[in-house]
A and B are shown apart, each in its own frame.
Chain A
């Protein structure tokens, strides 16, 4: 069954975020001959259109309006739903990012559409599309489908395999003029936190520290390793409570839930509350001096030893051997 798919192409600092390519990859599996379109809201680099085309976009709506340069719910909801009404897609996909999480529910209500959030798997099944998503912090999963109306879903970053990139594709570029009436919330200020710039929930590689890291300097070491591997730094609650790092790094039941390809747990014992936040990582490595730490029960690879020595050693080994480019 062919479906027209519209993907919200999210950008950061002008560059297309990885989750957009993942959404386009999903579009490719479900469009089945229908048109795949991407929408870029706010200013972005001109080459983005061809980049989007390389992942399957046949049409790119460029929605330019000064008021879209900074995300606000009102501006984006009005612009996006306006575009949806005009373009009339059967399927609408966004990344389950800060923007996606904020925009999709309101947009869905405005369109009278059902919305399936935080999707980790998509399979077309006859006339339906079955979406898989985690529940109870990933202890269980549910499969859902949209019964009627447009299919609206947000895709969890890092879970969908990317389709093959087709170089040299082109897409039709259409300018869309949004109707934005009033914007009720005003962004007064943005305070950027000093971090590696890689968002924890999107990172493909995470190096996380627990109480075993012992102090703030220990976390600096983890940052070095994360930089070498092209990843982000996370932490267990114990480390945040102890003041070794900021709470925005906390991963766990009451912190962030992450699904990286690689999760390196340093000096983390593996208490259930932390594990719930990272157990869906594809590969888990544990480094801990205590061989009986529960983290080893869920780790794919384990080193029983001093995390500082291991990290330093890993840094030198990793940077000298593979030298793979950091992923975004």
Chain B
């Protein structure tokens, strides 16, 4: 069985964001594997351990992305492909076409990805990729089992659980709760250093200028305005709650 895992390298969720000239500052930032992608990597490795599979990690970005890829390899993936570009392509559609071009000629039964990235948070790329490859998808999976040519996926849909059956090849995006990503063992980390990493450029993928033209532009980026200080209520508890309810009704107008 062949599995491809899409991995994005993002800021650690703890990082403070700084913006200069409309661009997010990357200097001094700690980078991690997108937490949702960790679930995808873990699931791929688990399938490899139980059913046997060849797991390929695919990512796109500047050279620093290699760290994220090596983490995925340390967790148990077999090899990786990095589409190495200084800047990510302009919009999600272009990104999906690029990834599709990179994947199209490789064998795959299952493509796993996180359901969103913690930086951009749009959750589009993986699903667009499924459309480009003309394969079905199931998103926000919290449980996945694969058996002879098909998959059974439980997905988290606004509190409910939907159980879906789908044929392979299939794209599945991971939601929190799918599994507990493993801490890479030290031998795993050492071996990861030697696992194959293929570097590719977008120019090599045979895409047309039309494919590479983004449809969406970023006009501006700015930080969230600081919240102003709040009011601590006083008095005995009954008085406080009474005041609170009144404030919420009259001043804040939320109840």
User: Do A and B interact directly, with beta carbons closer than 8 Å?
Assistant: yes
Q: Which residues of A contact B (CB under 8 A)?
A: 73-74, 77, 97-98, 101-102, 104-106, 108-110, 112-118, 130, 133-149, 184-193, 195, 199-202, 204-205, 229, 247-248, 250, 253-255, 257, 261-262, 272-273, 276, 279-280, 282-286, 291, 296-306, 309-310, 313-314, 317-318, 321-322, 324
Tell me the B149-208 residues at the A interface (CB within 8 Å): 152, 156-167, 176-177
Chain B interface main SS type: mixed
| Contact A147 B13, CB 8 Å, known A193-B161, A310-B241, A324-B255 | no
Q: Which residues of B contact A (CB under 8 A)?
A: 11, 13-14, 16-17, 19, 24, 35, 91-93, 96, 118-125, 127-128, 130-132, 136-140, 152, 156-167, 176-177, 214-224, 227, 229-233, 237-238, 240-242, 244-249, 252, 254-255
Query: A141 → chain B, closest Cβ, in Å?
Result: 6
Given contacts A146-B215, A254-B35, 11 further A-B contacts (CB under 8 A): A105-B125, A135-B120, A137-B13, A141-B223, A184-B167, A187-B164, A188-B152, A188-B165, A190-B163, A285-B248, A296-B232
Other-chain contact of B231, A138, A201, A205, A300 (Cβ < 8 Å): A300
| CB pair B131 A105 closer than 8 Å | yes
| CB pair B248 A301 closer than 8 Å | yes
Bound form: Cα–Cα A191–B155 in Å = 10
| Contact A142 B138, CB 8 Å, known A310-B240, A313-B237 | no
| CB pair A113 B255 closer than 8 Å | no
How many contacts between A and B, using CB within 8 angstroms?
A: 251
Query: A45 → chain B, closest Cβ, in Å?
Result: 20
| CB pair A321 B245 closer than 8 Å | yes
| Contact A191 B161, CB 8 Å, known A113-B215, A300-B231, A304-B232 | yes
Bound form: Cα–Cα A114–B214 in Å = 8
Residues of the A chain whose Cβ atoms lie less than 8 Å from the Cβ of B247: 301
| CB pair A195 B159 closer than 8 Å | yes
Residues of the B chain whose Cβ atoms lie less than 8 Å from the Cβ of A130: 219
| CB pair A145 B176 closer than 8 Å | no
Residue contacts A-B, CB under 8 angstroms, 10 given: A113-B215, A115-B216, A140-B221, A185-B165, A187-B162, A190-B162, A248-B177, A297-B230, A300-B230, A322-B245
Centre residue among B17, B130, B136, B229 by max chain A CB count within 10 A: B136
Other-chain contact of A273, B13, B119, B222 (Cβ < 8 Å): B13
Query: B72 → chain A, closest Cβ, in Å?
Result: 18
| CB pair B230 A296 closer than 8 Å | yes
| CB pair A313 B233 closer than 8 Å | no
Chain A interface main SS type: mixed
Bound form: Cα–Cα A97–B164 in Å = 19
Bound form: Cα–Cα A243–B130 in Å = 36
| CB pair B217 A145 closer than 8 Å | yes
| Contact A188 B241, CB 8 Å, known A106-B130, A106-B131, A139-B224 | no
Bound form: Cα–Cα A40–B166 in Å = 26
Residues of the B chain whose Cβ atoms lie less than 8 Å from the Cβ of A282: 252, 254
Residues of the B chain whose Cβ atoms lie less than 8 Å from the Cβ of A204: 254
Query: A111 → chain B, closest Cβ, in Å?
Result: 10
Residues of the B chain whose Cβ atoms lie less than 8 Å from the Cβ of A110: 131
Residues of the A chain whose Cβ atoms lie less than 8 Å from the Cβ of B248: 262, 283, 285, 301
Other-chain contact of B241, A135, A148, A254, A313 (Cβ < 8 Å): A313
| CB pair A272 B14 closer than 8 Å | yes
Query: B5 → chain A, closest Cβ, in Å?
Result: 19
Bound form: Cα–Cα A204–B253 in Å = 12
Bound form: Cα–Cα A261–B131 in Å = 36
| CB pair B158 A97 closer than 8 Å | yes
| Contact A303 B241, CB 8 Å, known A109-B131, A142-B218, A247-B176 | yes
| CB pair A143 B220 closer than 8 Å | yes
| CB pair A136 B254 closer than 8 Å | no
Residues of the A chain whose Cβ atoms lie less than 8 Å from the Cβ of B92: 105, 114-115
| Contact A140 B222, CB 8 Å, known A193-B161, A318-B245 | yes
Residue of A nearest to B226 (CB): A298
Residues of the A chain whose Cβ atoms lie less than 8 Å from the Cβ of B128: 105-106, 108-109
| Contact A262 B240, CB 8 Å, known A114-B91, A184-B167, A190-B162 | no
